[in-house]
A and B are shown apart, each in its own frame.
Chain A
């Protein structure tokens, strides 16, 4: 290999490093869900993903300023009661910079599942969240099986179908 072609390769690598430095890869179905432990919203303990290994987990990233997230939450809460709690768990990660905004919303729309607080956005960075809201359906082995981006009225049916299929697959 000549010195010229080595130099050319080095130049290309340098340029592509700078250009791709800010592109985070979004996790897709088939990827392993990164484990995390984050403080619970409202400051009561921590929320840990690994605690729910063996269950199908629905992980939802939300914020109080995100209108479709607020449409999704009552629907997610409804789903929680439709599936057996020994097999299915919902976890939310709130991304509000001011926790009290999220708590104000939840005081009016209470939910029965834990919500972590991540005001610095460490977890969505790890998961490569590219839309708000984004939710991940994770199987009993900790592998992402379905990614739902955005939320519209009527999306609940598709989600229920995916959850049901995953619950049945693990039996």
Chain B
């Protein structure tokens, strides 16, 4: 029974790991599109981040902990 469990485990790991597909560098056609970017417009993203942390009075920026005067 134990042997069967180990066998099933090995097969499961094998199938799961070989089922992970990596997008190859030459297959990034659609992913390379501007509208697929996390922040398509860098300047706009920076402006929004500035408004956010100024309103929230958080320092440093919108992605870190801590508080501040909100004056920067």
A contact residues vs B (CB 8 Å cutoff) = 11, 14-15, 17-19, 21-22, 61, 63, 65-67, 95-97, 121, 124-125, 129-132, 134
16 A-B pairs besides A22-B21, A22-B22, A124-B25 with CB distance below 8 A are A14-B14, A17-B14, A18-B13, A18-B14, A18-B17, A18-B18, A22-B20, A65-B28, A65-B29, A65-B32, A65-B33, A97-B29, A125-B24, A129-B25, A129-B26, A132-B26
Knowing A21-B18, A22-B18 are in contact, say whether A14-B10 is a contact too (CB < 8 A).
yes
Q: Does B27 contact A (CB under 8 A)?
A: yes
How near does chain A come to B2, taking the closest CB pair, in angstroms?
13
Select from chain B the residue with minimum beta-carbon distance to A96.
Answer: B29
The 20 listed contacts between A and B (C-beta, < 8 Å) are: A11-B10, A15-B10, A15-B13, A17-B14, A18-B14, A18-B17, A18-B18, A19-B18, A21-B18, A22-B18, A65-B32, A67-B32, A95-B26, A97-B29, A121-B26, A121-B27, A130-B25, A131-B25, A132-B26, A132-B28
Query: Which of B13, B14, B25, B32 is packed against the most chain A CB atoms within 10 Å?
Result: B25
Distance, CA A103 to CA B60, complexed state (A)? 47
How near does chain B come to A58, taking the closest CB pair, in angstroms?
18
